[in-house]
Amino acid sequence: MPQKIFNTATRRKEIFKPVKEGTVSIYVCGITAYDVCHIGHARGAIFFDVAVRHLRSRGYQVIYVKNFTDIDDKIIDRAKKEKVSISGISKRYIDLHNEDMAALGVENPTLAPRATEHIDDMIALISILIQKGNAYCVEGDVYFSVDKFPLYGGLSGRNLEEMVAGARIDINDKKKNPLDFALWKKSKEGEPFWESPWGKGRPGWHIECSAMSRRYLGETFDIHGGGEDLVFPHHENEIAQSQAATGKPLANYWMHNGFVRINSEKMSKSLGNIFSVREILNKYHPEVVRLFMLQSHYRSPVDFSENSLAEARSALARCYATLQLQTEALDRPVPSNNLSKKKTSAKEENYTSILEELKEKFDAALDDDFNTAQALGYVFEAVRHMNNFLVAEQKATTLHKSIMLQTSKKVFAHFGAVLGILQDDPDHYFRCDKEKESRKRGLNIEEIENLIKERQAARAAKDWARADAIRDELTKLRIIVKDSNNTTSWIIE
């Protein structure tokens, strides 16, 4: 099945055809380094991470570029406020960003260029635009002339007249058209600057992406991505700059991820409902966040709440419980003399083929515009299927059982590798989960373990009253006790 991608530019799902057979070049707009990453950044990062992982698993060689904006008004403001250098601010938040992404299991992009390292590329591009008459210089500022670019508005589906008629456009006397945007800004007193043919100044926001994508991916590359808010004006302006300069399309496919909402409200500073990645990772295993994000389609808004994360946590625990059973089954030695004696039945073979079929469906779901929600549906079907198998075949020691376990191991490894979940050791996962949950609820793991031990002793002595009393006590703390033949494990509800 060919890869399909919903292209913002055409508002349609299209069959993906790379510029160069077998490779994918992708550019995603990264962060402006002036604050810590929030859950919205996490969504975009996780989604594009999965998209790239999937393309790679399908055999494409992917070049993934995600930039850092390290010069910008907000960074300058913050530097002023804290009385530190601009590079001090940007370095701090780039480092924190990298930590957060690593914690979320987001793989590093192939390249992570910074705007300030590409000022020359930007100046070169702006010069071309001036030369071609698409840009003009006024008192040290350089503006892009939207009237000279007939395709302007094509990506976001707007036209110039309507936008000019809109009341919210700021009127600037220097601009020929109110929609013209800055390519280069004359530096103000005390601001950082670079020398340019138009005097001392710094780049406008949009030009960096045009310059860096051109440098690393060429004039036309495959996929350009970002959050949906970037469609206008940022990506519209990038297209205008790049295509006016090169005469070629900037990117063939435009992908935009939807926003994260908080309890059905827009996440914003004024509402004070911004959740940082680090504060969430303090409470939840990173894969819970990934699972939560991937359960919705990337283009839909996703509603983030304590409750929805808790649901994702239960769902992930279900997967790890199965992996744990699987690991135990794999560790159990199978007497080799029994293997040869028993023949594999059709029913047994069926177990393996269903798992392999689910893997195919999983990949096909991701081929279809990266439908991670549907792909996860197949993961959970595989979980149930595996549980069935593990219960039904518990006592079996046939050759098939070990084949099935190996297949399952392979299939779940594939699911996990593509979605970036199920990467933890199950025991470690549950331990980590316990630590986070107990910290959150002010529980003491040691005390709980002691109670569990006490209860086990009571059970061994068949002192059911005592055992039940302890269990009731633990239940009040929302701790679930799981007894098996000779051990007792526990989880936090």
Residues 26-85 that bind RNA (CB under 7 A): 29, 31-32, 38, 40-41, 43-44, 74
- CB 448, CB 476: distance < 8 Å: no
Among 377, 416, 423, 445, binds RNA (CB under 7 A): 377
CA dihedral 229→231→234→235, nearest 10 degrees, is: 150
Nearer to RNA among residue 264 and residue 337 (C-beta): 264
Nearer to RNA among residue 91 and residue 318 (C-beta): 318
All residues at 6 or more sequence positions from 54 whose CB lies less than 8 Å from its CB, including other chains: 363, 366, 370, 418
Place of tokens 């007894």: 483
Task: Compute the least distance from the CB of residue 484 to RNA, in Å.
Answer: 6
Nearer to RNA among residue 149 and residue 259 (C-beta): 259
Residues 195-224 that bind RNA (CB under 7 A): 205
Structure tokens, 214:
């051109």
Of 89, 116, 122, give the one whose Cα is nearest residue 238.
122
Among 1, 84, 151, 169, binds RNA (CB under 7 A): 169
**What is the distance of C-alpha 138 from the center of its chain?**
41
Give the whole-angstrom CA distance, residue 173 versus residue 325: 70
Among 171, 189, 391, 395, binds RNA (CB under 7 A): 391
HSE (side-chain half, CA atoms, 13 Å) at 282: 8
Query: In angstroms, how far apart are the furthest CA atoms of the chain?
Result: 91
Task: Compute the least distance from the CB of residue 378 to RNA, in Å.
Answer: 7
Among 282, 347, 360, 464, binds RNA (CB under 7 A): 464
Does 346 contact RNA by CB under 7 A? Answer: no
Among 58, 234, 283, 414, binds RNA (CB under 7 A): 234
Task: Compute the least distance from the CB of residue 94 to RNA, in Å.
Answer: 13
The binding track of 416-455 with respect to RNA, each residue x by CB under 7 A or -, is ----------------------------------------
Partners of 257 in beta bridges: 227
Does 472 contact RNA by CB under 7 A? Answer: no
The binding track of 283-322 with respect to RNA, each residue x by CB under 7 A or -, is ------------xxx--xxxx---xx--xx-xx--x--xx
Cis peptide before 335 (omega within 30 of 0): no
Of 212-220, 228-236, 281-289, 413-421, which segment contacts RNA by CB under 7 A?
228-236
Does 229 contact RNA by CB under 7 A? Answer: yes
Residues in the chain: 493
The type of residue at 186 is K
Of 87-95, 186-194, 260-268, 436-444, which segment contacts RNA by CB under 7 A?
260-268
Task: Compute the least distance from the CB of residue 227 to RNA, in Å.
Answer: 2
Of 218, 154, 227, 223, give the one whose Cα is nearest residue 5.
223
Of 371, 235, 231, give the one whose Cα is nearest residue 298.
371
Number of residues that bind RNA (CB under 7 A): 81
Among 16, 152, 259, 351, binds RNA (CB under 7 A): 259
Rg (CA), the chain: 28
Task: Compute the least distance from the CB of residue 56 to RNA, in Å.
Answer: 22
All residues at 6 or more sequence positions from 93 whose CB lies less than 8 Å from its CB, including other chains: 31, 33, 34, 35, 36
Among 66, 97, 118, 459, binds RNA (CB under 7 A): 459
Does 383 contact RNA by CB under 7 A? Answer: yes
Of 211, 206, 213, give the one whose Cα is nearest residue 231.
206
Of 304, 314, 454, 294, give the one whose Cα is nearest residue 362.
294
Task: Compute the least distance from the CB of residue 248 to RNA, in Å.
Answer: 24
Of 136-144, 263-271, 275-283, 411-419, which segment contacts RNA by CB under 7 A?
263-271
Which strands, in side-by-side order, build the sheet including 251-257?
A: 61-66, 23-28, 221-227, 251-257
Give the whole-angstrom CA distance, residue 337 versus residue 334: 9
Task: Compute the least distance from the CB of residue 61 to RNA, in Å.
Answer: 25
Does 166 contact RNA by CB under 7 A? Answer: yes
Task: Compute the least distance from the CB of residue 20 to RNA, in Å.
Answer: 27
Does 112 contact RNA by CB under 7 A? Answer: no
Place of tokens 């069959």: 15
Give the whole-angstrom CA distance, residue 422 versus residue 172: 53
Nearer to RNA among residue 84 and residue 469 (C-beta): 469
Task: Compute the least distance from the CB of residue 217 to RNA, in Å.
Answer: 18
Residue 3: its H or E element: none
Residues 131-160 that bind RNA (CB under 7 A): 156-158
